[in-house]
Amino acid sequence: MTARAEGSVTFLVPVAFAVTVPAEAVTSRLEWETLLLAVVFAGFLFAATRWFWRFGLRRYSGASA
């Protein structure tokens, strides 16, 4: 994955959801589909992050070894 792609995935996508969903809720324009998508997306990111963390721990051998 290129540095530009990593930056957009790790920064732009979460920021878009972190800004859009609360703003729509405050202005009473939040639809159930958007809320459901946000919850599913957050669950997916949580599961992917947890998997990647465990993947890294399994392959960790120590910095001074």
Task: Calculate mean pLDDT across residues 45-51.
Answer: 90
- Look up residue 15 and give its amino acid: V
pLDDT at residue 36 tops 90: yes
Q: Is the pLDDT of residue 51 over 90?
A: yes
Judged against a pLDDT cut of 70, whether residue 3 lies above it is answered with no
Break the chain into its structural domains and give their ranges: 3-56
Place 2 in a pLDDT band, splitting at 50, 70 and 90: low
DSSP string, 21-62: HHHHHHTT---HHHHHHHHHHHHHHHHHHHHHHHHHHHH---
How high is the pLDDT of residue 17? Answer: 79
CB atoms within 10 A of CB 59: 7
